Amino acid sequence: MLPCIHQLDIFNLRNIHHAALKNFATINIISGKNGSGKTSFLESIHLLGRGRPLRGIEYRSLIGEDDSFSAVHGVVGGENQNSEHSVGVSVAHNGKRQVKIDTKEGVPIADLVHVLPLLVIDADTFSILSGGSGLRRQFMDWGVFHMKPSYGSRWRAFNRCLRQRNRLLREKTTALAQMLSWTNQLCALSQEITLHRSEYIRDFLPLLRETAMAFGGIDDVQLEYYQGWDDGKDLANVLEYSFERDQRSGQTHYGAHRADIRVRIKGIDAAKILSRGQQKRLVAAMRITQGKLLYQQTQRTPLYLVDDVPAELDATYQAFIYDMLQSLKSQVFMTCIEYNNTLQAYWRPSTMIQKFHVKHGEITQY
């Protein structure tokens, strides 16, 4: 079960003024009434692992109403039993974020992700199937990013290049030939990103099919990968043809930034054919499969943040989720309104559980 959080200090995060917590278990259950601070607890872990809020990038939403900054510090179990990292992330009112890992200050946010791979299952996760393509790109990129160490730098280079090309397009005075160097880089990086993503999807699909079947008989799941321009066409040619359109709108219409994975069941868009409950099951299966694949390929388990799942799924499928999370041996932080006998019954006797209760932003461990 690595990595995992051993210790957590939260300062001024939403309604949590201060909390100093330790002795976490594999499964950590956070109970409390509506508005007590359960999601805020998960927000603190998300800030620690991703450097940003669970939703969007409005960092100021994290800072307590009367405070000038939010901060979280964690002790995180590392790559092996003997290594631990001390991680600190703070966000100030002016939007400035600071990250410290061990003794290194000013660490890039991107480095956090490798220390604490996080996966979230919450109400928003369920829009992966029906929402915009950006959500599905994030989904793929999470996997690729954790499995291919060079991917992050290629992805950042691609985005730099895209920004430059779009800037020139918006000037409207730059001819296609004058932006050739950016276009060529964009094409080369798009090819590289596409290769990594399609390898990820290739490895992900068989595991997903297995999980989706076990998870409630959703069979014949297909993933159709769209690379961001028509298959079999040369991206440089495609960009040449779309130059006038690109210039009119000031943006590049084709490339790796337009990629998508279409999730289909028996050839039909999953968002159209599955009921809402089935979509939730499929998305939960997709998240769990990401954890399985990460473990298969790197022997690391991601940490799961699970918010409000009982409210979203019926008892049979809650049982599936909890069972799969236990099989993965990931550290899990999950919320519920009340810890009751039904919830208790989901856990195997060998699973270590720690319970927390939140009331008006005060967290107690019991």
Which residues contribute to the site for ligand ATP (CB under 6 A)?
A: 14-15, 32, 34-40, 61, 63-65
Q: In this complex, which beta carbon is closest to ligand ATP, that of residue 63 or of residue 334?
A: 63
**What whole-number distance in Å separates Cα of residue 33 and Cα of residue 116?**
28
Q: Which stretch binds Mg ion (CB under 5 A): 38-46, 188-196, 223-231, 248-256?
A: 38-46
Instruction: Identify what 7 binds: ligand ATP, Mg ion, none; CB under 5 to 8 Å per kind.
Output: none
**14 touches which of ligand ATP, Mg ion, none (CB within 5 to 8 A by kind)?**
ligand ATP
Tell me how far, at minimum, the Cβ of 337 lies from ligand ATP, in Å.
6
Residue located via tokens 């954790």: 146
In angstroms, the Cα distances linking 122 to 55, 127, 175, 281, 298 are 11, 10, 46, 12, 25
Return the one option of ligand ATP, Mg ion, none that residue 66 interacts with (CB less than 5 to 8 A, by type).
none
Task: Round to whole Å and give the CA distance between 328 and 330.
Answer: 5
Is 91 or 115 the residue whose CB approaches ligand ATP more closely? 91
Taking CB under 5 A as the binding criterion, the range among 34-42, 99-107, 112-120, 296-304 that sits at the site for Mg ion is 34-42
Shortest distance in whole angstroms from residue 354 CB to ligand ATP: 18
Residue 40 near which of ligand ATP, Mg ion, none (CB within 5-8 Å, type-dependent)? ligand ATP
Q: With respect to Mg ion, which residue has the nearer C-beta, 17 or 329?
A: 17
* Residue 235 vs 306, nearer CB to Mg ion: 306
- 45, 48, 49, 50: CA torsion to nearest 10: 110
Tell the burial category of 332 from Cβ atoms under 10 Å away from its Cβ (0-12, 13-18, 19+): buried
Taking the least distance from each CB to Mg ion, the nearer of 301 and 335 is 335
Which residue has its beta carbon closest to Mg ion?
A: 39
To the nearest whole angstrom, how small is the minimum distance from the Cβ of residue 14 to Mg ion? 10
Shortest separation between residue 63's beta carbon and ligand ATP, angstroms: 6
- Between 119 and 208, CB nearer to Mg ion: 119
For the CB of residue 245, give the shortest distance to Mg ion in the complex, in Å: 43
Q: How far is the CB of 34 from Mg ion (least distance, A)?
A: 7
Nearest-approach distance from CB 197 to Mg ion, in angstroms: 32
Would you count residue 39 as binding Mg ion (CB under 5 A)?
A: yes
Q: Nearer to ligand ATP by C-beta: 62 or 162?
A: 62
Size of the site for Mg ion (CB under 5 A): 2
Sheet holding 332-336, edge to edge: 118-121, 303-306, 332-336, 27-31, 353-359, 362-365
- How far apart are alpha carbons 208 and 222 in whole angstroms? 9
Name which of Mg ion, ligand ATP, none residue 132 binds, using a CB cut-off of 5 to 8 Å depending on partner kind.
none
Minimum distance, C-beta of residue 340 to ligand ATP, in the bound complex (Å): 15
78 DSSP assignment: -
Query: Which parts of 73-131 fold into alpha helices (H)?
Result: 109-115
Rg from Cα positions in the chain: 22
Q: Which residue type does 247 have?
A: Q
Question: Which of Mg ion, ligand ATP, none binds 216 (CB below 5-8 Å, type-dependent)?
Answer: none
Q: Give the helix/strand (H/E) hosting 281.
A: helix 276-298
Q: Closest by alpha carbon to 316, among 290, 345, 348, 288?
A: 345
Amino acid at 295: Y
Instruction: Indicate which of Mg ion, ligand ATP, none lies near residue 36 (CB less than 5 to 8 Å, by partner kind).
Output: ligand ATP
d(CA 275, CA 279): 6
Phi and psi at residue 13, to the nearest 5°: -105, 110
Residue 125 binds which entry of ligand ATP, Mg ion, none, CB below 5-8 Å type-dependent: none
Nearest distance, CB of residue 14 and ligand ATP, angstroms: 4
3 state DSSP class of 35: coil
Taking the C-alpha atoms of residue 57 and residue 67, their distance in angstroms, rounded to an integer, is 19
Instruction: Kindly list the residues in this chain that would bind Mg ion in the complex (CB under 5 A).
Output: 38-39
